[in-house]
Chains A and B, each alone.
Chain A
Amino acid sequence: MSTLEIRDLHVSVETESGPKEILRGVDLTVNSGQTHAIMGPNGSGKSTLAYSLAGHPKYTVTSGEVLLDGEDVLAMTVDERARAGLFLAMQYPVEVPGVSVSNFLRTAKTAVDGEAPKLRTWVKDVKQAMDQLAIADDFAERDLNTGFSGGEKKRHEILQLELLNPKFAVLDETDSGLDIDALRVVSDGVNRFAANGDKGVLLITHYTRILRYIKPDFVHVFVGGRVAEEGGSELAEKLEEKGYVDYVGTPA
């Protein structure tokens, strides 16, 4: 069993008028086998949490800790975190012109596993994963994320999730920008990943829509840079009805 522990995490960003605190003491523990949903209004700091876990240089951790099976994640470089088993599906995946999807996938897989994948099985695995996510074959030779539609980018994030097979997946609004068919396809991918056993999922979302397909064990309402309320999936239903109005005063 694996555990991802976030303890009293404070994070700030550099602004023109000095550092600005975004995360104001986040406590959250995800065990493998669990799916946690983080729901919160725009600007509440959800992406900040996701990026801070992955080690984005824009965010400065001012205090608190993040432990992966007891190891200090915050002391690791970005690539070390990924190799330790953390995966972030980004809200806005980055375009990398000139780097083909297939080259990128192979390079990442080699880095994460510490050895190059066996060619025959790898090609088959990639093909199967692409088919399951309804990604056309020719995407393998396209430049990474370059010119992909919003929905295509999201499906590619889940493709990477399935192929790299980390311990913990942080999914930052993977559902936004997806039509209903794509939402189902992407949710199936996340569920396949979670069914591999011993996997933890931190599902960040603004809407409850995706929770029809991915069942959370726990729901955390995120407001103003910290967890404002926690509960089971019934909390999501309450949010569905009332929105975030109880937490922020205005409908979000």
Chain B
Amino acid sequence: MTTDTAQQAQHGLTEHSHGAGAPDHGGSAFDTVASFDVADHVVPRGREEEWRFTPMARLRGLHDDAPLDGHDYEVSVDADPKVVVETVEATDPRRGSSGYVPNDRVSARAWAEADKVLAITIPADVVTTKPTIVRLRGLSAEKAAAGHVVITAERFSQSVVVLEHEGSAAFADNVEIVTHDGARLTLVSLQDWADDAVHLSHHHVSVGRDAVIKHVVVSFGGDLVRTSVTLDYAAPGGDAELLGLYFADSGQHLEKRLFVDHNQPNCRSNVLYKGALQGAKAHTVWIGNVLIRPAAEGISTYELNRNLVLTDGARADSVPNLEIETGEIEGAGHASATGRFDDEQLFYLMARGIPADEARRLVVHGFFTELINKIGVPEIAERLIATVERELALGEGLPAAATTH
């Protein structure tokens, strides 16, 4: 163990005062209960604003009382030699160092019941040469489990961390991502679960002074995958890019929730989530909340969600929400577009001799390529493209979404 945990703890304390989970302004749509105490979070029933899109019956009790003491999973690590990956006790001071306070019952339960913490630390000034990949492979969805990960990118470090999830599981976890001054971190969370998996995941990102974070969520598999990302700034000058890619098949529920809390001046955030859907009852939800507090002068923010509905019977919900409490900003905007396959694009490609299936593949590729390029991790780009291919092959033969003329 090479990291200076005392210094880490100090950082944790100083950052503690701006927890995103504890909004201190009244009347906002973003008010949530923030507490480490599970009892403070009533069991959601599905009518609550934060749960109204989620099929509660498929949560396997993660939101209620289902024990989270399962350990039916394996973890393998392929780390850059300069990155420190450790399994530490729940009492380790790095836990909580992002300032996050659980903002729903699932997150609070996972916090209370995770008995170990996976701590990934990129020491100060280290520039890594390869991504650090942590792969969690679930072996069964019978017993639910809880997890906790803390990623600390120390001052001026530069690195890429990938958290992969595969196999079967009922899993609730909290992931804390802490970037110190001037650090540059790309964090990719990839959910490529088996069909029966349920995964509820909370990420909290604390962006340090002049730090640059690229946070990426990619969801392909799983019966129900719900990711909630909250982000705030520990100091001015931070730059956050939040990217997401999801592809829902028949019966899948993929829910992406974001809350960017502009609580510091002169920071930047840019959100781009893109999803594709195919098959009966494929359902995606994107909720993009951005709050610009009075202190957040000179910031700029933009969020965009685009969904491509490939077949009839699939449903994409998309709700951007921007709340501005200061006029002194550089720019703020949001957009959301959900559309069916563009028949004119298909016609154009086919009119050049390209068969329908291949034309469709080209268009979907085109749709995701921009995003995959933005992720900027060549080691996983090819795999993402291949997975998109695989998903598309699943959808071949399904009737295309009704044409709209």
Contacts and interface: CB of A to CB of B under 8 A. Distances in A.
Interface residues of B, number: 26
Contacts of B351: 54-55, 78-79, 81-82, 88, 90
B26 interface: no
Interface stretch (B46-54, B73-81, B88-96, B342-350): B342-350
B135 interface: no
B353 A77 contact: no
Contact of B353 (A58, A95, A98, A164): A164
Interface of B: 342-345, 347-356, 358-359, 362-363, 365-370, 403, 405
Instruction: Name, among A58, A111, A143, A160, the residue most crowded by chain B CB atoms within 10 Å (CB to CB).
Output: A111
Interface string A80-107: 0111000010100111111100011001
Interface residues of A, number: 30
Contacts of B366: 96-99, 143
Given A96-B345, A108-B349, A111-B353, 9 more contacts: A78-B347, A93-B348, A96-B348, A96-B349, A98-B363, A111-B354, A111-B355, A160-B352, A164-B352
A146 B365 CA distance: 15
Interface of A: 14, 54-58, 77-79, 81-83, 88, 90, 93-99, 103-104, 107-108, 111-112, 143, 160, 164
A94 B353 contact: no
- For the complex of A and B, the 4 pairs showing the least CB-CB separation, nearest first, are A98-B366, A82-B353, A108-B352, A111-B353
A79 B345 contact: no
Contacts of B343: 57
A28 B345 CA distance: 29
Contacts of A79: 350-351, 353-356, 359
B17 to A, nearest CB: 43
A202 B359 CA distance: 26
Instruction: Name, among A58, A79, A82, A95, the residue most crowded by chain B CB atoms within 10 Å (CB to CB).
Output: A79
A97 B368 CA distance: 10
A93 B351 CA distance: 11
Given A57-B403, A98-B365, A99-B362, A82 B350 contact: yes
